[in-house]
Amino acid sequence: MTVQLDARPPVVPAPPRSSGRLSRLDTRLSPYLYIAPFFLLFAVFGVYPLAYTFWVSLHDWDLLGADHPFVGAENYTRLLADPDFWHALVNTLGIFVISTVPQLLAALWLANLLNRGLRARTGWRMAVLVPNVTSTAAVAIVFGVIFGREFGMINWLLDLVGLDAIGWKSNRFASWVAISAMVDWRWTGYNALILLAAMQAIPRDLYESASIDGANRARQFWSITVPLLKPTIIFCAIIATIGGLQLFTEPRLFHSGTNPIRGGPMRESQTLTMYMFENAFAPHYNFGYGSAVAWLLFALIAIVAAVNVLILRRLGGGAGPRKETTP
Amino acid sequence: MSRLWRASPLTYLALIVAAGLSVFPIWWMFVVASRTSDAMGQLPPPMTPGGNLGANIARLFDNTDAYFLTGLINSAIVASTVTVSVVFFSSLAGFAFAKLRFRGRNALLLVIIATMMVPTQLGVIPLYLLMTRLEWNDRLPAVIVPALVTGFGVFMMRQYAGQAVSDELIEAARMDGCGTARIWWHVVLPALRPAAAVLGLLTFMTTWNDFLWPYAVLNDPANPTVQLSLRALSDGYYQDMSQVFTGTAIVTLPLLLVFVLFGRQIIGGIMEGAVKA
């Protein structure tokens, strides 16, 4: 489809017929050719599985069964009656809330610190971003040890200040806190950099006129910076929702020993994705039931993301001027 | 720089604390990796490296349950194949979306942005069934092929191509009789190089770190990615933490290396993307 560079003799005003048709074909069709790989692959490995999950969820479908009869909503009704499902749902939401709220607040604070005339600017930015580039699995293992019962560093620190040791893996709420610490460790710096980028786009004269009017630093932060950052904060919150509600690697590797897919002996920190895995893959291989979990999780993510947007739109009074979003 | 933006000593103090918290778990991982397993029982915990790293590495690579070397090789193959593919297809599609006119362009671009918001991870079960039908289970194509394109990559390249490639240059090339493929190769690709580098780095790191999908589809313990080797170590060797931590340290090392070398570009990519997205 390449056209020869010298196909058009410079003296002839109109190009030869064949080459002209070829080049018209080229400008007309080649764009589709260039974007086709994405859409083809995404259709096969992205859209189709997601839609087909719903189809599978309506069937009694496991690894060994030769046929998989249609059962309608039975997987869903069974799921909604399963206390382990509700347990995992509460775990997921609990971990989500106690990780996301402090994470975004800390990121905002960190971005505010980084948004000053600092020496070694890039160095500080790298230091806060480095957790984000590490391997999630490796970090989950390390945090599993730091939060160990007997020889963990956190319990040792608690002991130093005269507090009792905490069973970070056997106490339900404590395991949520430990996993949230892991999530926040990884994502706070990343979000801080995104918020920092948005902060730098705020015109300085807004602050100058505010300080002439007598507004102090804190006042300026809450009535200029935060409202102007609202679109970016919403963006961060949605990303955190999509990731947080699908949490898997951190809680899975936080636990070791027998049957860690259950997130502890009493399912202390089994998230919905872990629950989906436990049912869809080893040990049960019940694809129909697992697919029902996947669809409810999908619905949950959509609902929580929408709720996030509503709450954050309301916060801080009227809508601040939207950041320019030139595509 | 106006006086509003000066950093006080308190700013530096707070940043030192934040940076310390960020770096500490990584540091401590290398400390334990270089000591004997006794380090785990010591309180206060040791904070300086020991001299046992070589022995730990030897034990790790001799471990017959973790298949650590296979895992490293597999992960290198998977991550580099995916990286090359994502950068290639994204720069093609990004160029088309930014610079070529065609019917349905805006609608298709919206589809791409929407794909970034959809949690496709939730399709793992049919994907698993599909891999079973293709007989790719336990084999590397199962983790490579679904990752060959990303909506994020296309979007990022499209944003960059929009500002980095001038329309005049493309018009001029067209006047000279260049077809779009040649324009892409000779005009667009050189201009996209900085963004392609960042996209490549981010893709490599994401793929190297991926756990969920390999965990679902690569069930043969003898043919893992390196993250699955870590899982095998963590589940089975919690008595021998110096060996496990040696594994986590080796897995983290290439990422840290990339980050130290290209951190500035990665930070630039994240922050620019944030402003434009």
Return the structure tokens found at B171.
């018009």
The answer to whether B210 touches B143, Cβ cutoff 8 Å, is: yes
Please give the class, per CATH, of domain A78-314: mainly alpha
How far is B152 from B170, CA to CA, in rounded Å? 25
Q: Is the pLDDT of residue A15 over 80?
A: no
The answer to whether B53 touches B33, Cβ cutoff 8 Å, is: yes
How far is B145 from B102, CA to CA, in rounded Å? 28
Q: Is the pLDDT of residue B21 over 90?
A: yes
SS (H, E, C) A30-81: HHHHHHHHHHHHHHHHHHHHHHHHHHHHCECCECCCCCCCECCCHHHHHHHC
Q: How confident is the model at residue B235 (pLDDT cuts 50, 70, 90)?
A: confident
Predicted confidence (pLDDT) per residue in B177-205, tens digit: 888 889 999 999 999 998 999 999 999 99
How far is B184 from B269, CA to CA, in rounded Å? 22
A37:B89 CB<8 A: yes
Q: Is the pLDDT of residue A272 over 90?
A: yes
How far is A106 from A229, CA to CA, in rounded Å? 15
Q: Which residues are paired to A286 by β-bridges? A: A62
Q: Find, in chain A, the residue whose alpha carbon is nearest to that of B156.
A: A327
The predicted pLDDT at position A19 comes to 60
Among A254, A248, A302, CA closest to A275: A248
B184:A28 CB<8 A: no
CA B8 vs. chain centroid, Å, equals 36
Return the structure tokens found at B9.
């000593």
- Lowest mean pLDDT across A92-96, A135-139, A261-265, B89-93: A261-265
The answer to whether B57 touches B244, Cβ cutoff 8 Å, is: no
Q: Is the pLDDT of residue B244 over 90?
A: yes
- Closest-CA distance, B203 to chain A, in angstroms, reads 11
Round to the nearest angstrom and report the end-to-end CA distance of chain A.
30
The predicted pLDDT at position A316 comes to 55
Give how far Cα A33 sits from Cα of A52, B93, B150, Å: 27, 9, 17
Predicted confidence (pLDDT) per residue in A195-240, tens digit: 999 999 888 888 888 888 888 888 888 888 999 998 899 888 888 8
Give how far Cα B176 sits from Cα of A13, B80, B185, Å: 13, 36, 15
Residue ranges per structural domain of chain A: 1-57, 78-314
Angle at B82 between CA B78 and CA B86, to 5 degrees: 175
Q: Is the pLDDT of residue A321 over 80?
A: no
Q: Is the pLDDT of residue B274 over 70?
A: no
Predicted confidence (pLDDT) per residue in A27-57, tens digit: 888 899 999 999 999 999 988 898 899 999 9
How far is B94 from B112, CA to CA, in rounded Å? 11
Q: Is the pLDDT of residue A293 over 90?
A: yes
Higher pLDDT, A16 or A46: A46
- Closest-CA distance, B204 to chain A, in angstroms, reads 11
How far is A36 from A33, CA to CA, in rounded Å? 5
ipTM of the prediction: 0.90
Picking from B125, B175, B226, B242 by the largest number of A CB atoms within 10 A of its own CB, the best residue to mutate is: B125
Of B109, B184, B211, the CB nearest to A136: B211
The answer to whether A232 touches A111, Cβ cutoff 8 Å, is: no
Give how far Cα A94 sits from Cα of A123, A236, A237, B135, Å: 34, 19, 16, 39
Return the structure tokens found at B240.
């021998």
A280:B125 CB<8 A: yes
Residue ranges per structural domain of chain B: 7-276
Please give the class, per CATH, of domain B7-276: mainly alpha
What average pLDDT does the segment B8-14 reach?
Answer: 91
Q: Find, in chain A, the residue whose alpha carbon is nearest to that of B182.
A: A2
A38:B266 CB<8 A: no
